[in-house]
Amino acid sequence: MSNMTLLANAILGLMAAGAASAAATPTHFKPTLTDTFIYDLDNVPIPAPVVTSKYGVKVNAHVYVVDGQEHTAQQIANYHANGKKVICYFSAGSWEPERPDALNLSPECYCGKGVSYNKRTGECTGKNANQNKLDGWDEWYLDLHNPSCISQVKAWQNKRIQSFIAKGCDGIDPDNVDEFANTQAFGVTAQDEVNYLMWLSQTAKKGNLAIDLKNAPSLLVDDNGNPTQWQKQLIEAFDFSVIEQCHEGDNCDQFDAFLAAGKPQIQVEYNGDGYEMTKCPSLEDGQHLLVYNTPDLDSTLISLECSD
């Protein structure tokens, strides 16, 4: 065999190896404007391929948003076998006592300095125990302002994200990323929140995961309706948006930049407390609306599904 033949065979071998490697590398999933969604954090597993609510609404959605820590790799694989993409939810901005990894974070980073806590459960107790607690929820905001806590929080959340990758999740749904706009004693600012969000986006993309921006409209549009200094980088960094109660609050347009960038929206409305949505509103391409009959993300309670 000639040297030229050997060289040609070597080149072909390298090309084949490169192609095989590229084929084995998962691609970054990005929802499109035509995708439909189901959002259920209360049931494990969710029926597939069709979810039927107790109100007779049948949803055959392409993308499932589920609780990432509660689901197993086998359950996620079953969703995939039924043609679904899976976005794994976790609370990126708060500490929840019932999570299996709850005790792996220092209480100082959610209770605050000098605040006592229950050594068995990790829950904040005594004086100032509720200064960082979410209104209406048994969970506490994370300290995203103090550098030592930021380092701890990132390491803690990175382990979660890596576990989602190992389970086969196609994306992540980080909740409670509007701490800066709520009552907390850490002094978390909008810039602190954006810094953390950009880290979440970078971490997701390293793992070829899709990632959404949930709520936090004031990071996109200021009080005068103008784009904020962060709007462009956030739209570039996130693949879609999740918006709660924007029809009730009449602020859906604050997320228009996502649609303009070709990125879809999951809109969620909760009936109750004198508010009820019974008919589909006018929607644009890329907007998918789910109405729940109580303030719970439980697909059996979906009373209305709407798309453009």
> Could you read off the pLDDT of 87-123 as tens digits, one per residue?
999 999 999 999 999 999 999 999 999 999 999 999 9
- Per-residue pLDDT reduced to its tens digit, 18-63: 444 334 456 889 999 999 999 999 999 999 999 999 999 999 999 9
Give the chain's domains with CATH numbers. 37-96+147-307 (3.20.20.70)
| 16 pLDDT tier (thresholds 50, 70, 90) | very low
- Kindly state the percentage of the chain with pLDDT values over 90: 90
Going by C-beta distance under 8 Å and a sequence separation of 6 or more, which residues neighbour residue 168? 73, 76, 77, 80, 86
Structure-block tokens of residue 114? 């000098």
Say which residues have a Cβ less than 8 Å from residue 149's Cβ, sequence separation at least 6.
106, 108, 109, 142, 143
Is the CB of residue 45 less than 8 Å from the CB of residue 75? yes
pLDDT digits (tens, 9 = 90+) for 234-256: 999 999 999 999 999 999 999 99
Distance CA 3, CA 7 (A): 6
- pLDDT on residue 28: 87
Q: CA 68 to CA 66: how far, in whole Å?
A: 6
Q: Check whether 296 has a pLDDT greater than 90.
A: yes
The 10s digit of each residue's pLDDT in 202-217 is 999 999 999 999 999 9
